[in-house]
Chain A
Amino acid sequence: MSLFATFNSIAFVVIMMIGLYTLIARQNLVKKTLGLGLFQTGIFLMYITLGVRDGGSAPILQEGADLAYSNPLPHVLILTAIVVSLSTMAVALALIIGVREEYGTIEADEIATIDRAEAEEGHEA
């Protein structure tokens, strides 16, 4: 019972950490973006869990009914955060497309190698 009652606070950390691991361990820029998105959904889970209330219902008022409503504030914050996360992801993808056109690859380590080679060429010239 106690594990189930605190399950969400462990689950959101697990989801965030899967995202963080991908962000560090993988070199592919698109994969890094996906990991960042996963990290964000972990935070969404934490916020929505905080708004839940035993025997609660959706925070949509009903005339004459005495219900225990969930806290609407986390819903508002996360609702806007989801749309903003889509916008930031679009900017990231646009930059990745630019990187691909410039370097011909989207692997971070290969890009670093190309940059280093170009810098050495510059020194010699």
Chain B
Amino acid sequence: MSDSVVLRTIGGMLFPYILVYGLYVQMHGEIGPGGGFQAGVLVAAAFILHALLFGKELTDRLLPTWLVDLAMSLGVLLYIGVGILGLVKGRYFLDYSVLDPTHPAHAEALGMTLVEAGVGLTVASVILTMVRKVNGESS
């Protein structure tokens, strides 16, 4: 597919915008439609498009496999870490109010943002890993 000039040009122009849109969906998840699951898929789709257009080697240099593997576990650990923080501070598991004791509503928003970031990180890296593995790339 990478020999088509039209596809390469248009795809190359779209790539950063898809990434920024994914970040927008991630950060805007509390206000509009969106959240970690959707943003994760969008970011993964951006990198899959990049790999389809410019070849796996370039995408691998942009985003090495070890980094994706690390992000996969970091997302889950971030989620569980927010939960355990509640236990450490003497409250319930996943009690967001420990994040900002003076203003529970803000703590709630902060907790949701952190948790959604964890979800987004995991979903994006897992989907990217799946497509890479099914495509037959060794790590």
Contact = CB atoms under 8 A, between A and B. Distances in A.
Contacts of B40: 83
Contact of B134 (A58, A80, A82, A93): A93
A77 interface: no
A80 B130 contact: no
A79 B33 contact: no
Interface of B: 32-33, 35, 37-38, 40-41, 123, 126-127, 130, 133-134
B130 A58 contact: no
A79 B40 CA distance: 13
Contact of A80 (B32, B37, B127, B133): B37
B33 A58 contact: yes
B37 to A, nearest CB: 5
* SS class, residues of chain B in contact with chain A: helix
Contacts of B126: 87
Contacts of A87: 126, 130
Interface residues of A, number: 12
11 contacts: A58-B33, A60-B32, A60-B33, A79-B37, A82-B37, A86-B127, A87-B126, A87-B130, A93-B134, A94-B130, A94-B133
Nearest to B40: A83
A13 B35 CA distance: 30
A67 interface: no
A90 interface: yes
B134 A94 contact: yes
Contacts of B38: 79
Interface in A73-102: 79-80, 82-83, 86-87, 90, 93-94, 97
Contacts of B130: 87, 90, 94
Interface in A37-90: 58, 60, 79-80, 82-83, 86-87, 90
A60 B33 CA distance: 8
